[in-house]
Amino acid sequence: AQTVTQSQPEMSVQEAETVTLSCTYDTSESDYYLFWYKQPPSRQMILVIRQEAYKQQNATENRFSVNFQKAAKSFSLKISDSQLGDAAMYFCAYRSYSGGGADGLTFGKGTHLIIQP
């Protein structure tokens, strides 16, 4: 079974600064997807960024980018120019490439991101 580990229960950053959230995972599969989801107090899980394991290029979405190290099984999220609206719980998640998602997503325990004005 796959596992996802987020070792930072809480992170704090000054507004406009850059912060990196860490995630490691364990799998024996070679093809898979990795995700970062954001969960604000509204409770809705919002997809931030997605990475396909077969792609060597790191995914980027505006101020959000990842550092995907497949051999090290590491998938960190960098948020540049942090904004107050970025404050939320951030979850790293894994999904097998095969099976059509029948195994669902495997989530980490989350990192609570605090933005200091």
Partner 1 sequence: DAGVTQSPTHLIKTRGQHVTLRCSPISGHKSVSWYQQVLGQGPQFIFQYYEKEERGRGNFPDRFSARQFPNYSSELNVNALLLGDSALYLCASTLDRGNSPLHFGNGTRLTVT
Task: Report the candidate in 97, 13, 19 with the shortest Cα–Cα distance to residue 51.
Answer: 97
If one asks whether residue 110 binds partner 1 (CB under 8 A), the answer comes out as yes
Query: Would you count residue 30 as binding partner 1 (CB under 8 A)?
Result: no
**Which of these ranges, 53-61, 63-71, 75-83, 92-100, lies near partner 1 under the rule CB under 8 A?**
92-100
State the chain's maximal CA–CA distance in angstroms. Answer: 44
Minimum CB separation from partner 1 for residue 66, in Å? 15
Residue reference for tokens 């599969």: 29
Candidate list 48, 77, 79, 108; residue touching partner 1; CB under 8 A: 108
Q: Considering the rule CB under 8 A, would residue 93 count as an interface residue with partner 1?
A: yes
Helix (H, G, I), strand (E, B) or coil at 72: coil
Asked whether 16 and 82 are in contact (CB, 8 A), the reply is yes
# residues near partner 1 by CB under 8 A: 25
What are the C-alpha distances in Å from 44 to residues 41, 51, 88, 113? 8, 21, 11, 16
Judged by CB under 8 A, the residue of 43, 57, 84, 85 near partner 1 is 43
> Residues interacting with partner 1, by CB under 8 A?
4, 33, 42-47, 50, 91, 93, 95, 97, 99-110
